[in-house]
Amino acid sequence: MTTLLLTIVCVAGGAYAACLWFVARHVARRRALALGTLPVWLLVLGAAAAGGTAVLYPSSVALPAGAALVGAIVCGLVDARTGFIFDALSAIMAAVSCITAGLNFHAPDGFLAAAIVGAALGSLYLLTGRRGIGLGDVKLGAAVALGYGLQPAIVAIGSAFVLGALYAVTMIGCGRARRTDALRFGPFIAGGAAVGLTVGAWGPLW
């Protein structure tokens, strides 16, 4: 990849993160939630996520995967600050991932991954009486899977649960949380998404 093209991808990633943030801020205002101003580091992280994905993956996968990773990062931060993953963000992520995947003939694997991940998380949502994870987490997980494809998506969601469990055990062990406390899962989906792409870059896992 040429330096110019990589620069364009990085700028696009930062701009995409900013657009998602402003959408989230608009929705938050309508719900009387305080989201705050756009963090500069989020622009840098969005640019790095898009650029890193472009370097690690071939063009047929890099665009939808990069869009999904940047979206997951924004959603994770929004969830951490407000306790919600807005439907508008998941819908935009899904649309961008779908369009970019279709342009690169990557869509079938993405649709399969979204169906499997969405069904699995949706089942967990229902089986736990809507207390294990939120419906926003289900939608975000499916949107990430749509951009990733099956194998990276499975690694990403699995890693999210591992990261969430480690955090919960640590907080409970330190006496800073109780077992009954709610856990905002969006940041862990973002972390798992980063792990999924990193591991997926090593090649097929099975």
Q: What DSSP letter does each residue of 52-73 carry, written as one string? A: HHHHHS-HHHHHHHHHHHHHHH
Q: Which two tokens stand for residue 130?
A: 């809507």
57 pLDDT above the threshold of 70: yes
SS3 at position 87: helix
**Per-residue pLDDT tens digits for 167-197:** 999 998 887 878 777 789 999 999 999 999 8
Nearest Cα to Cα of residue 96 among 45, 160, 23, 165:
23
**Per-residue pLDDT tens digits for 62-109:** 888 999 999 999 999 999 999 999 999 999 998 998 887 766 655 678
Nearest Cα to Cα of residue 146 among 121, 123, 114:
114
Cα gap 36→179, rounded to integer Å: 30
Cα gap 150→16, rounded to integer Å: 24
pTM above 0.75, yes or no: yes
The angle, 0 to 180 degrees and rounded to 10, between the axes of the packed helices 3-30 and 59-82 is 30
* Domain extent listing, the chain: 3-200
Cα gap 116→83, rounded to integer Å: 25
